[in-house]
Every structure is written in C-alpha cells, then in structure tokens.
C-alpha cells in the first residue's frame, strides 16, 4: 500500500497533514481514497510514502482559516484517523481522542514550511 498527503498549501478536498491511501498515480494525475471515495489530485501537490504514517503531523494554520476558529498557529493531524486537534505546549506523544491510538509528535518535520 502507498500513502500520500498534500505537500502544497492548496485547497483540494484533502486535509493538510493527513495521509491517504494512494489509489493511482499516472503522469500529472493522482487519485487518493478519502473516506472510501476516490478524489483526483494533481500529483505534483502530493508527497508519497511506501510506509504508513506513524507520527502526528504539526500543521501551520492555513491562511484562509478564519481567526474565529480557535486552532492556534498550529494544529496536529492524527496519522490514523486524520482528526485535527488543537494542542498546548510541546508534548512528545499524544493519544487521539477519536481513534484512541497514541503516537509520537513529529516536531522535527517542517510540514508546509514557508
């Protein structure tokens, strides 16, 4: 199984920081599985991995998110269920409230760094 996630700050029906199963990639087009539905994406927008995600992704707040939504300057994305979670401080590990699985947080990764 191959996994993919956005590597560009674009709006295309995928959550930033979330990994999805890659169904097909051919030339400029790719298709990922989002909740059992195929979603077409420009392949240049994707980062691909042959190993499943094992750490929370720290995602910078997208520019188009209204400041009335309290996610802070960054939020975490669960590698298992893709849930977005606000956080405080700098924890090294965290259990997801939705899927109940605990993962390390990848503070060394600079996801969508500007």
Q: Which residues contact 35 (CB under 8 A, 6 or more apart)?
A: none
In 3D space, the residue among 52, 81, 57, 20 whose CA is nearest the CA of residue 30 turns out to be: 20
DSSP 31: E
Query: According to the model, what pLDDT value does residue 27 have?
Result: 93
Which pTM does this prediction carry? 0.85
Q: If DSSP codes are grouped into helix, strand and coil, which group holds residue 45?
A: helix
CB 3 within 8 A of CB 54: no
Q: How far apart are CA 103 and CA 72, in angstroms?
A: 21
Q: Is the pLDDT of residue 112 over 90?
A: no
């Amino acid at each position: 199984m191959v996994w993919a996630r956005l590597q560009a700050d674009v709006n295309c029906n995928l959550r930033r920081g979330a990994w999805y199963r890659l169904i097909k990639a051919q030339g400029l087009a790719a298709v990922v599985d989002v909740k059992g539905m195929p979603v077409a994406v420009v392949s240049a927008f994707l980062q691909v991995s042959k190993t499943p995600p094992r750490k929370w992704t720290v995602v910078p707040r997208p520019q188009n998110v209204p400041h009335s939504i309290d996610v802070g300057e960054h939020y975490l994305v669960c590698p298992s269920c893709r849930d977005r979670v606000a956080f405080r401080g700098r924890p090294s590990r965290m259990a997801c409230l939705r899927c109940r699985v605990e993962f390390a947080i990848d503070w060394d990764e600079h996801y969508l760094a500007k």
